Amino acid sequence: MQAGATSPPDDDVQPLVRIEGVSKRFGDVVAVDDVSIDIAPGEFFALLGPSGCGKTTLLRMLAGFETPDAGRILLDGEDIAEVLPHRRPVNMMFQNYALFPHLNVRDNIAFGLKRTSLPRAEIADRVAEMMGLVQLEGLDRRKPDQLSGGQRQRVALARALARRPRLLLLDEPLAALDKKLREATQAELMQLQRKLGTSFVIVTHDQDEAMTMADRIAVMRDGKIEQIGSPRALYETPASQWIAGFIGDVNLIEGRVIAHGNDELTIAAKHDFIRVVAAADQVPRGADVVVAVRPEKLRLMRVDTPRTEATPHRNARRGTIASVGYLGDQTVYGVAPDDSGAPLRATLANTARRSGDDFAVGERVIASFAPADAVVLVR
């Protein structure tokens, strides 16, 4: 599904970047197919998708390293498709950082500035400012091979920001960092972006990274935009079954709409009836649908739970705990339904250090969800 152009978060704000119907081919391969996106001033925007979806090609067209075969790329209303990369108020931080091994930290950061008409004193001040901004004080004489991965990443970031671009492009910038350092750097990048007010566009295949950092995300697939929205919108209201499966974990139950009433749909699934809150005018009677339920929305209780303690539910299936995965902050349970339907996945938060309410493999349970906690997607 092509989402087309979308407005910035505030419709009264002129977009900094407007991508209009952009396409790019490499021989017989369509890398980017009629893509339209608006990016607002000061926005942290993510291009997310699997390998080969076209996100890096789109980023390279923004940078000027590739030229669109069709469409326009506007920056502040000016078509920049034919503007050379070094003439654009755009800079790019590469995945491998692309540092010069023979230059020290200071000279790496100053490299692009020395190719401008800035006086030496101003270049020195700018480099010092950037080193302070990314916390590299005292490391100015070190070469890249004397730095940690996180420090090299900071040098590359400082160099990209030194020319004060209107738009900063980040190509998988955290891929080489370990989990702890990646999480810390995500927070630092977000703080830095807010402090500078510069628009950032990040390319990543890491859903958690995009969901954590971006104000809005464009999810790409096979060169097209599947959906654009905030992290919450993509997760809670996916536009397609593919988006629901790509963004986070999800339980998918196939069925057919058989009735409308009181803002609820009644869906005949393989072994039961499901009721879901949804607008009747969006899902016609008789439509083949998929009901998407996130694992944390699925409730579990023991079959022998006293009736007075049981939470009221209508969308319920009996089953057996088939697997238990303890992840520290949460536990993931796999449930094998009695009706031989598709396995279910439930995620429960571990709110107490010790709990006597944990479920064990082989235990009999009822899995249920509230009508308002599911999304109906037309197949």
Q: For the segment 62-98, what is each residue's pLDDT rounded down to a tens digit?
A: 999 999 999 999 999 999 988 998 889 999 888 777 8
**What kind of fold does domain 17-242 have according to CATH?**
Rossmann fold (3.40.50)
Give residue 273's pLDDT. Answer: 79
Q: Which helix (H) or strand (E) holds 108?
A: helix 105-110
Q: Which pLDDT band holds residue 280 (cuts at 50, 70, 90)? A: low
The dihedrals phi and psi of 342, each to the nearest 5 degrees, come to -60, 140
Strand pairing category for 29-39 and 17-26: antiparallel
Do the domains spanning 17-242 and 295-378 agree at the CATH topology level?
no
Mean pLDDT for all residues in the chain: 88
Global pTM value:
0.87
Low-confidence winner among 49-53, 95-99, 348-352 (lowest mean pLDDT) = 95-99
Q: Which pLDDT band holds residue 2 (cuts at 50, 70, 90)? A: very low
Give residue 312's pLDDT. Answer: 55
What is the mean predicted confidence (pLDDT) over 177-191?
83
**What kind of fold does domain 295-378 have according to CATH?**
OB fold (Dihydrolipoamide Acetyltransferase, E2P) (2.40.50)
How many residues are present in the chain? Answer: 379
Distance of CA 78 to the CA centre of its chain: 28
Instruction: Give the domain ranges of the chain.
Output: 17-242, 249-292, 295-378
Distance of CA 337 to the CA centre of its chain: 32
What is the mean predicted confidence (pLDDT) over 220-247?
95
